[in-house]
Amino acid sequence: MMRQFELVERVKSYDPTADEAAINRAYEFAMSQHSSQLRASGDPYSSHPIEVANILTKYKMDVASIITALLHDVIEDTPVTVADITKIFGSEVSRLVDGVTKLSRIELQSDKSKQAENFRKLVLAMSEDIRVLLIKLADRLHNMRTLSYIQNSEKRRMIALETMEVYAPLAERIGISEIKDEQEDLAFAELHPDIRESLIARLNFLREKGDDLINYILEELRSLLNENGIIVATVSGREKTPYSIWRKMQLNNIAFEQLSDIMAFRVIVGSVEDCYRVLGIIHSNYTMVSNRFRDYISTPKPNGYQSLHTGVFGPKRHRIEIQIRTKDMHEVSELGVAAHWAYKQNIRPIDNNKQYRWLRELLDIIEHTSNPEEFFEHTKLEMFQDQVFCFTPKGDLIALPRGSCAVDFAYAVHSIIGDTCIGAKVNCRIMPLRTTLDNGDQIEIITSRTQTPNPTWERFVMTGRAKARIRRFIRTQQRSRYNDLGRDILNRVFKNVGYDFNDKILDSALKVFNITSVEDLIIAVGEGSITGHDVILAVYPKIFQHKKASNNDLTPKQVKIKIQNSKTSIRGLITDMVTHFAGCCHPLPGDCIVGIVTTGKCVTIHTTDCDNIKQFAKTPERCLSLGWNQTIDDSDLHIGRINLIVSDELENLGNLSVVITKNLGKIIDLKITNRNSEYYRMFIDIEVQDVRHLSNIIVALRATSLINSVERA
């Protein structure tokens, strides 16, 4: 454990004006408050906050951050309050300690909803002061270093998984690659120990076998640069971590032997001009590998990272990766935001530094998601993707996840641009909105005031921001339509039993369904989670006290309402979309089906052989590939239609009805389309369970002499 004077000396080494007395006071305060506590390793608990402070000294953090690191657990684990911290150490430290304390509850949450809610709090806290995140990253890093002392294997795995999914990507986002690499490696050791050991063994073998080759490549690169006048240059080699190697193998579906850049060579020079000179020298002497050049100097990554990357067939025709950067760029690549700490000048980085655009986008997602789990999903999308860099017509740079389309670009420019986009020009050519973007593309978005987000966009957008906006629009629109549909259903059902419907009479039903408002109840009826019949039972239970609440107790009209209002057993639908079955083909379970998005508002279900879907051939984006779930509730009835030619004889219509009823069908509608002295031509709508049920009825009808012909419409 680091001693008190050693911590003070480390801080004073990079900040001679640091308040030594305040650091000493915080050190002693932490020691006294945690004096009776032990960690899982058996060490005094005070060793943890001291080590967290020690980690932050490596990144030359300010005194307030060091003191916060020393005190970050006292509020949660001791009787000390925020007011006590304010009184002893001031408002700035107490605000930071309070922020980190609230985030401590993000750890060890088995409930995903709680974990997601706490991650939302983390984003909000670090948007106010990025130091909260830096302290939290150091806290998690030390916890990962001592993870092996926790006896519960499931708890260790949960901590490691959270580190991999949340903290390592956040460390990468603010550019602290050292913390990211170590957190990933420690988490990888817990989640996949056998794979990691195998990779380490292979790396050790290659290291022993290839020492002479690596030294040869380093010497040749140094000689080449010296011969061309690049005197002040540092040339070194860097080995990839086991986790980064494994991840690349997984992403590219390749074996270890197929990797070409396990070792990357780095050239550090004095100026930007020298970076490009070195690049020219290397490309002039070695053959460049296609698609391996990246210029992150002219287009930095969102976390501020700058460097030139190139792949070449280097000395002895070995394929190698070379990174070229200045000393300042190298410092930023290693230390991230801490390399150019802005708090000494009283500047809030989130307001004044472009590298925090991603954080503002996460805040925008918070505003447009309906629940913490959805926010967590979208932010993970934002943090895990490799990136492409595209430009607006004015030359502004927009960074997007790889695989993004023009709609993602539109939402990245502005939410309103995304909502109203109708087309895109990619490199001056009009292209579909779903066009995947490449590095360097220039995008011009075409908008219309009358356009609204299309629910089908959610199927191909990549960014969490776009998904959140589209889902919010769908929810808003669907609530309005479900409200209208629910009111219509309730009006008809109440009318059938002789009562007038109004909002006030539904108050008594709210407790029955555990719903807080009348509007939510009406919407639930509209979306099918509650039937109109159930609402009547809740409002007027005495009406049906001598009857069983079943389909047989309802009038045909009521049964029809209930069936249309029930949730369908269809897979492939976008969440919360209004659906109805086409009256032209009457699809049934067992049919091959397709969904047609009508005006972006709802989906009409057709059979795939329906003649009416041919008109949508020129707009395939409106078609959804759907199917029936394997398990379908037997009580979920559908309407099938048959065409018949029946002999005009006495009692034939009555006999027809008997045949259908005996085969468990129920006639919903009957229409005679043509009649003469010899026959009736008619169609009949019948409630059935599926295609097989309707086929059985058709077979039974064909077996009777009164039917001339019968077929499914």
What angle separates helix 193-227 from helix 242-252, to the nearest 10 degrees?
Answer: 100
- Beta-carbon count within 10 A of 672 CB: 12
**DSSP-derived 3-state class of residue 368:** helix
Q: Which amino acid is at 204?
A: N
**DSSP-derived 3-state class of residue 151:** coil
Rounded alpha-carbon distances, angstroms, from residue 73 to 52, 69, 166, 218: 11, 8, 21, 47
> Would you say 33 and 25 are in contact if contact means Cβ atoms under 8 Å apart?
no
What angle separates helix 47-58 from helix 4-14, to the nearest 10 degrees?
Answer: 20
The number of helix segments (H) and strand segments (E) in the chain equals 28, 21
> Whole-angstrom Cα distance, residue 532 to residue 258?
63
> Whole-angstrom Cα distance, residue 437 to residue 434?
9
By the 10 Å C-beta count (0-12 exposed, 13-18 middle, 19+ buried), 106 is classed as buried
* Maximum alpha-carbon separation in the chain: 112
Count Cα neighbours of 212 within 13 Å in the Cβ-side half-sphere. 2
Nearest to 294 by CA among 248, 250, 325: 325
> What DSSP letter does each residue of 90-124 carry, written as one string?
-HHHHHHHHHHHHHGGGTT--SHHHHHHHHHHHHH
Strands 638-647 and 679-688: antiparallel
> Would you say 157 and 193 are in contact if contact means Cβ atoms under 8 Å apart?
no
By the 10 Å C-beta count (0-12 exposed, 13-18 middle, 19+ buried), 379 is classed as buried
Q: Is the dihedral of CA 17, 19, 20, 21 positive or negative?
A: positive
Strands 638-647 and 627-628: unpaired
Task: Find where tokens 């709210």 sit.
Answer: 510
Catalytic positions are 76-77
Neighbour-count burial for 83-92, b at 16+ CB within 10 Å, e otherwise: ebbbeebeeb
Q: Is the dihedral of CA 409, 411, 416, 419 positive or negative?
A: positive
Q: Where are the beta strands (DSSP E) in 234-293?
A: 234-239, 263-269, 287-288
Q: What is the DSSP letter of 591?
A: B
Q: What is the DSSP letter of 430?
A: E
> Would you say 603 and 579 are in contact if contact means Cβ atoms under 8 Å apart?
yes
Look up residue 705 and give its two tokens. 């002499």
β-partners of residue 321 are 264, 311
Task: Find where tokens 């009547």 sit.
Answer: 536
> Whole-angstrom Cα distance, residue 599 to residue 597?
6
Rounded alpha-carbon distances, angstroms, from residue 83 to 69, 88, 91, 102, 488: 18, 9, 9, 15, 57
- Beta-carbon count within 10 A of 321 CB: 20
